[in-house]
Chains A and B, each alone.
Chain A
Amino acid sequence: MILEVDGIDTFYGETQALFGASLAIEPARVFALLGPNGAGKTTMLRSILGLTRPRRGTVKFDGRDVTRSATHEIARDGIGWVPDDRRLCPTLTVARNLGIAQKRTRFRYWSVKEACAIFSPLEYLMERECENLSGGEMQMVAIARALVGSPGLVLFDEPSQGLAPKIVGDVLATIVRMKEEGIASLVVEQNAEIALSVADQAAVIDRGRIVWAGAATALRDDRALRQRLLGVQ
């Protein structure tokens, strides 16, 4: 397993957001974590990254316990993050935003050039400041930024949010491409259809608890199950 989250309880102050949540992701696989708004999806990502540290339970990445590690150490171990609001530094150029994210890990090294080769338009945007990019371009830069960190696992937080269908298609194609390159993904989505279209495994989270986990195809093909778990067709 590249990532094993085992029974974590995470709190914001006194409010508990995750209740004994567990999930396991195999290397070079796409895992979809589905659930409604406020179910604890983003909290799961923040817990993995050590941004909101779990009070109980463990997070293991590539066999190492990272539950108590500092966020920058977890990132240096090889976990990338594509936040839902991209969070690029607006006053820096695309090249600089990618440059500060570049690092070597024990996973495959990605140069800026290689990361940009995946998104051909990026080459022409390198000298543009990020505040002057469109939403789709920002998402491309955010994914490329995760990639140049040479990750073994990338956490995608609502990657389709606010994007045109064509761009969503590009993002999904990139997730598949990354999988072919040996990078696992944890895709957190409200839009089950989008996430399930590329996922190998899936889990459903509701009010901080994992209520279902299994093969993505099971959820994709079983309309009744989907209806029961997610309230969608």
Chain B
Amino acid sequence: MKAPIPARPKRLFDLLPHILNGLTLGLLFALIALGFMLIVGLMEQINLAHGSLFALGAYIAMQLTGTRPPLPAELARAWLALPLGWRYAATLIIAPVLVSLVGIVIELCMRRTYGKDPLYGLLLTFGAAMVIEELIRLVWGTRDYVLQVPQAVSGGFLFGDLIWSTYRFYAAGIAAGIIGLVWLLIEKTSFGATVKAGAHDSEIVRALGINLSRLRLLVFVFGTILAAVAGIIVAPIWGIRPHMGVDAVIPAFLVIVLGGVGSFWGAVVAGLLVGLCVGLSGAYASEWSLLSMYILLVVVVTFRARGLWGKKSVLEA
């Protein structure tokens, strides 16, 4: 979220970087919120561990792409001999898969809370978030880390007298791509239809012969994978530190409250709105840019908790 802040804008054109910055940030917010939204919308569970899984994805990716991968010496040498681009691409798959194992454990613990007061699930995932965050501190300490990215997507380029970060455009592109793929999966596949039907009426789905426990596990694992991918994509911009999970879960929460439960595009538009809000407030008062997001959260929850497009509030989930 450390946006490049040029001098205060005087002409409309000067606002362009802020708008673009806001939009890319918005796409990243939407990406972060995606897994969170799926789990709220399809399983009626607020997964407060989402941010910690996001952070865990970034840490594992950092470890895998770094100079000391957690592998036996032989394997580590072979791994490090690969070009960074290959290692990065492989990490984009391996790290989310590893994080999904943690997701499986959380879902198995969460099973006992289904059908009960949502507070149980909330407390359980809050506990899981704390455990993951402390484990991160234990393993990696409290210092900041940097995730190495391939040269092709790092650095900057000159356009209209301004230097633009290549990585931001890459990250926004990846975010848009993943959002599109998730939309296709939910709206255009039989798996998506089953998941939607299961969210609407779990009894009838079981009576149709669908193993609901397995379906819920799949959805949760999918949400976890999305969290980890978001962590890896966002890490080079925000940096890697134990608190990054909390930094992510708040905008994610804001995005789904604003977007409304069960509204896919609501979440995407809300992500863009929040991104623009942060980006544009940064243009006029950079010290207010993050605060503006929290103010927006308070205003939305107070006046329109069901969000802009939702049928009911996340807070009723």
Interface residues of A (CB under 8 A from B): 49, 51, 70-72, 75-76, 81, 83, 87, 89-92, 96-97, 99-101, 103, 145, 149
Total count of chain B residues near the partner, CB < 8 A: 17
CA of A70 to CA of B196, assembled, Å: 21
Can you identify 7 A-B contacts, CB atoms within 8 angstroms?
Answer: A75-B207, A87-B201, A90-B200, A91-B200, A99-B190, A100-B194, A100-B205
Q: List chain A residues, Cβ under 8 A from B201.
A: 87, 89
Whether B193 pairs with A100 at a CB distance below 8 angstroms is yes
CA of A76 to CA of B214, assembled, Å: 15
Interface centre among A96, A99, A100 (most CB of B within 10 A): A100
What is the predominant secondary structure among interface residues of chain B facing chain A?
Answer: helix
Whether A149 pairs with B209 at a CB distance below 8 angstroms is yes
Q: A99-B190, A99-B193, A100-B190 are in contact. Are A149 and B200 (CB under 8 A)?
A: no
Whether A103 pairs with B204 at a CB distance below 8 angstroms is no
Q: List chain A residues, Cβ under 8 A from B200.
A: 89-91
CA of A89 to CA of B190, assembled, Å: 13
Instruction: Say how far B82's CB is from chain A's closest CB, in angstroms.
Output: 42
* B151 located at the interface, meaning its Cβ lies under 8 Å from any Cβ of chain A in the complex: no
Q: List chain B residues, Cβ under 8 A from A90.
A: 200
Partner of B197, one of A71, A75, A97, A103: A97
* Closest B residue by C-beta to A89: B197
Interface centre among A70, A96, A103, A145 (most CB of B within 10 A): A96
CA of A191 to CA of B1, assembled, Å: 66
Whether B203 pairs with A51 at a CB distance below 8 angstroms is yes
Q: List chain B residues, Cβ under 8 A from A97.
A: 193, 197
* Closest B residue by C-beta to A151: B209
Whether B211 pairs with A72 at a CB distance below 8 angstroms is yes
Whether B196 pairs with A91 at a CB distance below 8 angstroms is yes
Q: List chain B residues, Cβ under 8 A from A81.
A: 204, 207
* Closest B residue by C-beta to A142: B204
Whether B197 pairs with A72 at a CB distance below 8 angstroms is no
CA of A81 to CA of B205, assembled, Å: 11
Instruction: Say how far B38's CB is from chain A's closest CB, in angstroms.
Output: 15
Q: List chain A residues, Cβ under 8 A from B196.
A: 89, 91-92
CA of A149 to CA of B207, assembled, Å: 10
* B212 located at the interface, meaning its Cβ lies under 8 Å from any Cβ of chain A in the complex: yes
